[in-house]
Structure 1
Amino acid sequence: MNSLAKLTAPRQFSVLRHFHSSVNKQCLQSLKTSYDAVVIGGGHNGLIAAAYLQKSGQKVCVLERRHVLGGAAVTEEIVPGFKFSRASYLLSLLRPQIVQDLELKKYGLKVYLRDPSSYTPLRKPGGKNGTARSLLLGRDHEENMKQIAQFSEKDAQAFGMYENHLDRIGSAITPLLDAPPPSLEISFKHIKQSLQSIFLLLSTASHLGNDLPAFYDLMTAPGQKVLNKWFESEPLRATLATDSVIGAMTSPLLPGSAYVLLHHVMGELEGVKGAWGYVEGGMGTVSKAIANCAQDHGAELFCDKPVAQIITKGDKVTGVVLEDRTEVKAKLVLSNATPKVTFIDLLPRGVLPAEHRKAMEHVDYTSPVTKINVAVDRIPNFTADPNVRDKEPMPHHRCTIHLNCEDSALIHDAYLDAQRGELPTKPMIEMVIPSSLDPTIAPPGKHVVLLFTQYTPYTLAGGRTWDDDTRNKYADSVFDTIEDYAPGFKSSVIDRDILSPPDLERIFGLTGGNIFHGAMSLDQLYLARPTPLVSNYRCPIAGLYICGSGAHPGGGVMGSAGRLAAQVALADVKHL
């Protein structure tokens, strides 16, 4: 075994350099001095915006600062032979209209649906009779009832109604995901769009009907409060509560966490509502398919082109300047960077009106996430459900595996550790093993294990920093937890890649390490995302738009922000 030590700098550099050469084929055009539109950042939203703009007749270029396109939806071969979805790791929220419009299946997108989808092993037997070892949930209603009945007959009967309840509310508000929000600064020029958005909002409220009070609860209440109304048993409540906090520095006990839960069940994959799946080749294949579409229509995509500044003249954008001082002119600039990077770092000081800048300075980017990507030489063997055959994945290996989730109190306790600036003694862990379904990402018999862990503060107590020692001590504690559930896991590890919140910020440009480009709290949603002054992709500088997850409808590999920003920009072209 290559120990549990960190990747050494020379080895990490050589691996990344090798992978760099395999993906840079998409970035070989010669950069021109002028385009109709420049997109800053080659994440999935930026690529989607570029594809829609190019298909509509605009000449577009995308400028990506890294060596690889995709932003957080990227595949990287950190360990030779193992392809990691290094940041985002599952697909569900990508809007079906985008898949259809951009013909993403034609351009290489292939998805493995997961069923079952959720697995919560117990350290010790529990449930009604003290014999339950785990909770396995999927699309089979009868099997779900059987699994939940180990803990509560009442909950088994309620679960189907709960899922239907969320589905009704999710379906009613889905149109809001596919339309821009109204602007709080309605101008005559944009009044038609704002009135359309307001009408859609009112229409959504009418479609909610009797579910309107429950929707209000989901928007404002603690996730735990909502779950307690439906269920009485753990680990069911704890398993469902993970969706109310995933990627968010909040607790199921805090107001607003219920919306995060709703956000994560609004997806659709292969026509199956709420389904999640693995992308063949990793999440970078999503970005590659979008990039292939954009290029096929004439867009030009460039890697290793960091933007240093957005150029303006008067109250209009005129282009960008790269770090190497190359100037690229454009009448439209769409930024896939976070609002902080876009408005605070890239715009010259004094260009953004003072009230707008002040609002941007107070956007919340707090993140609880440390992602750990692991190469292993065998499939984990859980005590709760031992492997039947040595090298053959079992159904639960295909799921999101929830560890330290036997009780909701464990999640809240980990959150409290982070509030004190401490690393959690019992981190909340979501483990996925995409190689259990996708044979293209690991050598035969070996596996890719992706660990999405919480709660890890960006800033540690006592002024401590995330140095190599801190990263490795934390990863060791995560591996100790996994070892409790699956003995032998630590000895199976070939190597690992540890990404703390500062690492996610440094590598992927995620301010604060926040995977959503800003907290998904009620004060930063819909017509207040990222702020009430900039909420419908437009900015005070004509021709400048935000198209990333910091805009409506928020985070996840959804693509709506990119599509809607492009549509808003195209509607404005005639006025520029």
Structure 2
Amino acid sequence: MRSSYDAVVVGGGHNALVASAYLARAGRSVLLLERLPAPGGATVSTRPFPGVDARLSRYSYLVSLLPRKIVRDLDLDFRVRTRTVSSYTPTVRDGHPTGLLVGGGEARTRASFARLTGDDREYTAWRDFYALTAHVASRVFPTLTEPLPTKAELRHRVDDETAWRTLFEEPLGRAIEARFADDLVRGVVLTDALIGTFADAHDPSLRQNRCFLYHVIGGGTGDWNVPVGGMGALARALVDTARAAGADLRTGHEVTRVETDGRRAEVTYRTEDGEGTVGARHVLVGASPQELAQLTGAAPPPPAEGAQLKVNMLLERLPRLRDPDIDPREAFAGTFHIGEGYEALALAHGEAAAGGPPSAPPSEIYCHSLTDPTILGQDLVDRGCHTLTLFGLHTPARLFTDATNDALRAALLAGSLAQLDQHLAEPIADCLATDADGNPCVEAKTPLDLQRDLRLPGGNIFHGDLAFPYDDQGEPGPAGRWGVETPHANVHLCGAGALRGGGVSGIPGHNAAMAVLGG
């Protein structure tokens, strides 16, 4: 290892790898230091079940926010596939199992709405609302890899006062309740505002609006796609690209201190063999703002709180559904909403806010292997096995302690699967595959687990509350041109905690590299 580099990158998540690849391809000397045995962070794929050839996206799962620009700029060997079904939401109406299918063409979606609600009014409201979000997506998404706009500039770019007020100024619950009458439809809309975010539909902070915005603008369309080969394929492509460009990627190196005078920096790291120090002109930090504060000795930012339960499963077969009008292969190919009616989400939020776990945990599921079976070994494919990914809502980090984490994880997993069972013609437990030790192929991760595994503050998958993608303090100065600034001129955030960070996007990595390169 050399004694000094143009840039030292702290952390090896996908954003840090994006930054490293851009800088190395621009001819800069780059050293990336990652404390874990392999790079990738939350975008790794693993074989979590002993003796089972299933490579699951362990922490993250779908791709929407990764710009094609980054894939093209870096010549990444990475592909995604579209899902034929956007979502299916099972319910019971007049004593009969039914559900709402979104996807399979406009005519089929319209018919599904009519079957659920009895007429076209909810479908028309749905179509009009998502035309509004599509307009915003087409205007806002391209700005995420441009210099940071002011609030006024982005508002002008959106050029629709109704859309601006709906998404940027008023609690999302107001628009949902004004536009939709059906409780189930209202809940399906609201869920995108609650992924990893503990908030009520009418939260005056608008954290739910910010989360919703990032979930509907991806790619300029809001589509959520399946990464071919699992999310780890993105990490592998980025590692290959960065190394081919000359970046020095070191794993098992934990950064413990960053000292800088604004022009030169010294980065101290620890390995199993001892400590070392390396110099740098620039330091890019893919870790959280909390971690950055600890590394530089600064006052920490406000505490962050995650609010999700992540569950990975392998099934011997897809379960049969109570709804006779839907094929499980369609229902699970999209997002399968469970217990996510509007009032049910409000009840779950209220229970968690009062200090207890939701009595009926809301969650959503999808099956990666229906769209991309390459994550499974051929034997599993031949047997008809499939993966399921469950993402639970309204399980804030405040509920979990070292003493209660294991028991609460087990209780929430059992409660979430019980909610699913209400819509199945057979228990999901009967469909689970078993590993080499005879144990069911199911694992669950709480916010506390994510904090321990990945050092996500409070288990927050976004490193903190998401922010609207504009500068709210007036015209951005030189340090804030890309939204990656820190109090130190030569230290930049390149992870999810940067403004316009969050999700599997690579955007903060791109923007931090542009800040260094003077773009």
Q: Same fold (TM over 0.5)?
A: yes
Deviation at 1:139, TM superposition (A): 6.1
Deviation at 1:313, TM superposition (A): 4.7
Partner of 2:235: 287
Alpha-carbon distance in 2 for matches of 1:159, 1:469:
40
SS in structure 2 of the partner of residue 214 of structure 1: helix
The Cα offsets for residues 299-319 of structure 1, whole Å up to 9 and x where unpaired, read as 122222211111335774233
The Cα offsets for residues 174-194 of structure 1, whole Å up to 9 and x where unpaired, read as 24312233xxxxxxxxxxxxx
1:231 maps to which of 171, 180, 198: 180
Question: Are the counterparts in 2 of residues 466 and 500 from structure 1 also a CA contact under 8 Å?
Answer: no
2:497 maps to which of 531, 550, 554: 550
Deviation at 1:511, TM superposition (A): 0.6
The Cα offsets for residues 266-291 of structure 1, whole Å up to 9 and x where unpaired, read as 112xxx82221111221111121122
Deviation at 1:228, TM superposition (A): 2.0
Alpha-carbon distance in 2 for matches of 1:436, 1:314:
50
Moved more, 444-453 or 172-181: 172-181
Alpha-carbon distance in 2 for matches of 1:259, 1:140:
29
Partner of 2:411: 473
2:224 maps to which of 248, 269, 276: 276
Alpha-carbon distance in 2 for matches of 1:465, 1:219:
40
SS in structure 2 of the partner of residue 307 of structure 1: strand
Deviation at 1:118, TM superposition (A): 0.6
Deviation at 1:148, TM superposition (A): 1.3
Partner of 1:495: 441
Give matches, 1:79-228, under 5 Å.
79=49, 80-104=52-76, 107=77, 109-122=78-91, 124-126=92-94, 133-138=98-103, 140-150=105-115, 151=117, 152-181=119-148, 197-198=149-150, 202-209=152-159, 211-228=160-177
Alpha-carbon distance in 2 for matches of 1:248, 1:174:
21
Report the aligned-residue RMSD. Answer: 2.4
Question: Are the counterparts in 2 of residues 374 and 496 from structure 1 also a CA contact under 8 Å?
Answer: yes
Matched, 1:332 2:282: yes
The Cα offsets for residues 475-526 of structure 1, whole Å up to 9 and x where unpaired, read as 111121122222220122222222111111111121110011111256xx64
Q: Give unmatched runs, 5+ long, in structure 1.
A: 1-30, 182-196
Question: Are the counterparts in 2 of residues 295 and 301 from structure 1 also a CA contact under 8 Å?
Answer: yes
Deviation at 1:131, TM superposition (A): 5.5
Deviation at 1:212, TM superposition (A): 2.1
Give matches, 1:398-477, under 5 Å.
398-405=333-340, 407-442=341-376, 443-444=380-381, 445-460=384-399, 465-477=403-415
Distance 1:521 1:39, change over 3 A: closer
SS in structure 2 of the partner of residue 137 of structure 1: strand
The Cα offsets for residues 25-65 of structure 1, whole Å up to 9 and x where unpaired, read as xxxxxx44332211111111101100111111101121111
1:506 maps to which of 444, 452, 475: 452
Query: Normalising by structure 1, what TM-score?
Result: 0.81
Matched, 1:570 2:507: no
Alpha-carbon distance in 1 for matches of 2:353, 2:153:
40
Moved more, 156-165 or 555-564: 156-165
Partner of 1:322: 270
Matched, 1:483 2:431: no
Aligned residues: 493
Question: Are the counterparts in 2 of residues 87 and 371 from structure 1 also a CA contact under 8 Å?
Answer: yes
1:43 maps to which of 7, 10, 13: 13
Q: Give unmatched runs, 5+ long, in structure 2.
A: 433-439
Alpha-carbon distance in 2 for matches of 1:207, 1:336:
30
Alpha-carbon distance in 1 for matches of 2:114, 2:326:
24
The Cα offsets for residues 242-273 of structure 1, whole Å up to 9 and x where unpaired, read as 011111011223231233222201112xxx82
Question: Are the counterparts in 2 of residues 376 and 449 from structure 1 also a CA contact under 8 Å?
Answer: yes
Alpha-carbon distance in 1 for matches of 2:402, 2:6:
46
Query: Normalising by structure 2, what TM-score?
Result: 0.89
Alpha-carbon distance in 2 for matches of 1:32, 1:153:
67
Matched to 2:218, the amino acid is G
Question: Are the counterparts in 2 of residues 226 and 258 from structure 1 also a CA contact under 8 Å?
Answer: no
Matched, 1:54 2:45: no
| Percentage of pairs with the same residue | 30
Distance 1:175 1:280, change over 3 A: closer
Partner of 1:312: 260
SS in structure 2 of the partner of residue 204 of structure 1: helix
Alpha-carbon distance in 2 for matches of 1:174, 1:374:
33
Matched to 1:93, the amino acid is L
Alpha-carbon distance in 2 for matches of 1:470, 1:265:
32
Moved more, 379-388 or 160-169: 379-388
Matched to 1:285, the amino acid is A
Question: Are the counterparts in 1 of residues 258 and 268 from structure 2 also a CA contact under 8 Å?
Answer: yes
Matched to 2:18, the amino acid is I
Matched to 1:450, the amino acid is T
Deviation at 1:469, TM superposition (A): 2.5
Matched to 2:59, the amino acid is A
